[in-house]
Amino acid sequence: MRMQPIRIIFHDVAAIVVCAIFLLPVIWAIASAFKPSEELFEFPPSLFPHHPTLQSFQNIFSTGDVLRYALNSFLVAVGSSLITLLISSMAGFALAKYRFPGQKILFLLIVGMLLVPLQVLMIPVFLVLKTLGWVNSLLGIIIPPAATPTGTFMLRQFILGIPDELIEAARLDGASDWKIYWHVILPLSAPVLAALGILSFTWRWNDYIWPLIAINSQDRYTLQLALANLIGTNTVEWGTLLAYATSVLLPVLVVFVIFQRYFLKGNIAGGVKG
């Protein structure tokens, strides 16, 4: 209260204004997606369309089998995330609640995978995909990224906090280890599973490098790959590209705004993108 309120309010307003300017590249792209084509190139340029239209969004459909790409993107994001939830919670359970030889090394090994960037390994990774017959298969972009060190780490940390007594009680009731995992650990981990699921969905929805390596036939394209291929060609109108980019980013933006606290928390916990 010692600072003058006017100064605080000025600072608040400045924060919002600076943030809006910072976001201008995205805002301008989204706003331009709603412009008729003659407005896109008018000089001097204006941020918001005078006569908003959805024409550019309709034009997207003439660039390829967009519904197919959207379905692929959705299958990949959901499928890969579900696998991530399953295998990260299994691994997290093992690392948190068992004592076994090699535990420490395996934990370090998994976390250490954070430091081995896919970008550098993409050529041998392609060879592995080819050997498995996963080139040009959605499996090639669903399975490999599903194991994320961030996910395993998040789940391990959370499961460490689940009291051992609950596991002991279930064991006395004659529950097998799998039953304990499925009926005790999984339900109790719901909050962290939700966080990881949301993060993982956006990671996989946004993935570009995996489809770039693994996919080259059109009917397996994801939205990201299809849009990326259009950018390079110079044959498609800017309005269409911007409408395309807008449609691709909107799901992520909505998820981010609704579940922002998971992202901000995950930022500190994960440290790096998974």
Partner 1 sequence: MSEHSLIVDEMPRPDVLRGTLKFLTPYFFLLPTLIIFGLFSLFPLVCGGFMSLYRIDMVNGKWLFIALDNYSRLLRDPVFGQSVLNTFWYAIAVVPGTLIASLAVALFLRESRPARLVARLGFYIPFVLSPVVVATSWKWLLNEDFGVVDDLLRVLGLSSIPWLTSQFPARFSVVVTTVWNLVGFYMLMFLAGLSQIRGELYEAAKIEGASVLQRFYYVTLPMLRPTILLVVVLTTVHSVQAFESILLLTDGGPANSTRLIVQNMYDAAFLHLNPGYGVAQAILLLPVILFIAWIQMRMLKSEGEG
As a whole number of angstroms, the distance between CA 171 and CA 117 comes to: 41
Judged by CB under 8 A, does residue 82 bind partner 1? no
As a whole number of angstroms, the distance between CA 186 and CA 197 comes to: 13
Candidate list 1, 7, 100, 190; residue touching partner 1; CB under 8 A: 100
Q: Which residues contact 211 (CB under 8 A, 6 or more apart)?
A: 141, 220, 221, 222, 224, 225
Judged by CB under 8 A, does residue 41 bind partner 1? yes
In the block, tokens 């499961």 appear at 159
Dihedral sign of CA atoms 39, 44, 45, 48 in order: negative
Report the residue number, 117 or 191, with the smaller CB distance to partner 1. Answer: 117
Candidate list 1, 67, 120, 190; residue touching partner 1; CB under 8 A: 120
Minimum CB separation from partner 1 for residue 246, in Å?
Answer: 9
As a whole number of angstroms, the distance between CA 131 and CA 248 comes to: 32
Stretch in the footprint of partner 1 (CB under 8 A) among 63-71, 165-173, 186-194, 230-238: 230-238
Judged by CB under 8 A, does residue 160 bind partner 1? no
Candidate list 170, 202, 220, 274; residue touching partner 1; CB under 8 A: 202
Candidate list 16, 67, 172, 190; residue touching partner 1; CB under 8 A: 16
As a whole number of angstroms, the distance between CA 61 and CA 69 comes to: 11
Minimum CB separation from partner 1 for residue 228, in Å?
Answer: 5
Decide if 185 contacts 249 (C-beta within 8 A): no
Among positions 55-74, residues that touch partner 1 (CB under 8 A) are none
Minimum CB separation from partner 1 for residue 201, in Å?
Answer: 11
Minimum CB separation from partner 1 for residue 165, in Å?
Answer: 19
Candidate list 208, 218, 219, 258; residue touching partner 1; CB under 8 A: 208
Among positions 242-271, residues that touch partner 1 (CB under 8 A) are 242, 244-245, 248-249, 252-253, 256-257, 260, 263-264, 267-268, 271
The string over 56-89, giving b where at least 16 C-beta atoms fall within 10 Å of a residue's C-beta and e elsewhere, is: bbebbeebbebebbbebbbebbbbbbebbbebbb
Judged by CB under 8 A, does residue 39 bind partner 1? no
Candidate list 57, 74, 126, 182; residue touching partner 1; CB under 8 A: 126
Report the residue number, 189 or 224, with the smaller CB distance to partner 1. Answer: 224
Q: Does the N-terminal peptide bond of residue 44 adopt cis geometry, omega within 30 degrees of 0?
A: yes
Give me Rg for the CA atoms of the chain: 23
In the block, tokens 């331009």 appear at 32
